[in-house]
Structure formats: structure tokens, C-alpha cells
A and B are shown apart, each in its own frame.
Chain A
Amino acid sequence: MHALCVAAALLLGGCTAPVHHTPVSLSPSATAAAPVVLTHAVTVTFDSGYTRPLNAGSRWTHVGTVAQGAVYRPVGDVFTVEGAHIHEAWLVLDKDQLVGFYLPAERGFSPLRTPLSLHLQNQG
């Protein structure tokens, strides 16, 4: 019962863990790339427990690279990660694995605990 009360207090009190990120340098793409399309929907679960869908058909454009991989920004939409606060986020892919997120406002990298396989296809 006590544990339940503590859990409820944490939940209602907004004591969710922050989104951890480390500073990273984004090397922008030299040329504007054509958007790629996500062929299969996936749901991303963050360490905080929050989830976000990545919809099939969503379009992403390669904007550069960070040490952890290639960075893709959503086209015509927004994507965020959520912990104690919400952060705009772009995908970071190592080959076809989603390994984390680039937080443009913080210029930081937030890793995904378990990489997710993503299927991105060139448009057209």
C-alpha cells in the first residue's frame, strides 16, 4: 500500500525522469537530400515510459550526421521525446537501426536503450 502511494505521488507529482542527453556536434549535409519514407509503423518507448508512434508513410529528410549516426528530421510534421519535460527530437540511425534522438534545441544526443529496426525507403 505504501509503495502504491509513493508511486501515485511520483506519477501525479510529475517526478518523471528527465530525458538524458549528452552534447553532440551535428555536421550538416552538404546537399539537400530527397525525403525518405518509413514503410512500417513502430512505437518507440522511452526510458521514462512514455511512448511515441512513428507512423508508416511519415517522411524524413537527412539533415546531417552526429557521432552516433545519421540524423533525420521529420518533413511536414514534428516529433518529440518525453520525460520530465518534452523535447523536439530528430531520429538518429546507424544503418537501419534507430539508436537514439538528436535534440536540436539542446544540441544533444539522447540514446534509445534498445535500438529499433526501421525501414526507410527512398521516395519516388
Chain B
Amino acid sequence: MKSILNLGAIALLAALTGCAASGPKFAEQQAITPKLSADQGRVYFYRVNSMVGAAVQPDIRLDGAVVGESKPGGYFYTDTSAGSHQAGTSTEATNNLSFVLDKGETKYVRTSVSMGLMVGHVKPELVGQEEALKEIAELSYIGKAAK
């Protein structure tokens, strides 16, 4: 009985570990992150590491195009034009966030899991820079490799 429990615990740990993001941490990645061009804005997307709803990892869309994935412990960024934008995720429900971006501005969008009927909902929300940088510092880069 004890060995079955041990095996179960190992399997659970393996499953949860497999859900979390892996990659370079923020400080390491920032050293090779290209500078933002003057005519664009940058949007960071991130999700803090939590076991709650860890298996729910929907795509993140920006203005309808997939730009990455909502993954616990992961972050990425995308550079885009100044103006109005809409970020969104879909599981059993779609959750959207609308915001504006100025030229040279950086904004931060945190995704988090909330309870749903069958599947958790992943909500994108705008976060102030000070709070976002504290949270992102611990996370792993899951975006495209810098050129």
C-alpha cells in the first residue's frame, strides 16, 4: 500500500512539474532581449507559478493572433504597434482585456486561473510595472529565442 502511495506521489509530482515553465529567468533573458524600437510598444505576458489549475494552459491571443501560451511560471513578450489592443484567452469561456499602448511604452499582462464549471477560466489582467517586475523576476522565459 505504501509503495502504491509513493508511486502516486511521484507520478503527481512528475505531472505537476511537467506543467510548469522552464527556461532562462527574467534577469538572464533581459540581458539578450532586443531593445524596443521607437515606433512600437511592448507587452509582457506572464503567469505566476501555482499548482492551482496548472494543467490549464490556453493560447494567448493578441488582436486575434496567437502570441504564446499561458503557462505557470512562464513569461514572454511581444512588440506591437501603438494603439488599441485586445488580449484574450479561451477555455470554456473567453476572457478579454482591452488596453492602449503608446509608442515606446511597455505594458504587463498577467494571466491567472479562476474557477469554471468544467474547466478553469484564464483571465488576462493589466498589472502596474512595479508589481509586474516583482512577479516576473522569478519566472522563466518561454517566448521565442532572441535573434
Contact = CB atoms under 8 A, between A and B. Distances in A.
B126 A78 contact: yes
A86 interface: yes
B85 A80 contact: no
Contacts of B92: 13-14
B84 A76 contact: no
A104 B88 CA distance: 17
A85 B95 contact: yes
Q: How large is the interface on B (under 10, 10 to 19, 20 to 34, 35 or more residues)?
A: 20 to 34
Contacts of B93: 13-14
B86 A105 contact: yes
B132 to A, nearest CB: 9
Contacts of A88: 97-100, 126
Range for the number of chain A residues in contact with chain B = 10 to 19
Interface string A1-37: 0000000010011100000000000000000000000
Contact of B96 (A13, A86, A104): A86
Interface string B112-127: 0001110001011111
Contacts of B124: 86
B126 A86 contact: yes
B127 A105 contact: no
A85 B96 contact: yes
B128 interface: yes
A105 B96 contact: no
B107 interface: yes
A12 B117 CA distance: 5
Contact of A76 (B85, B115, B121, B128): B128
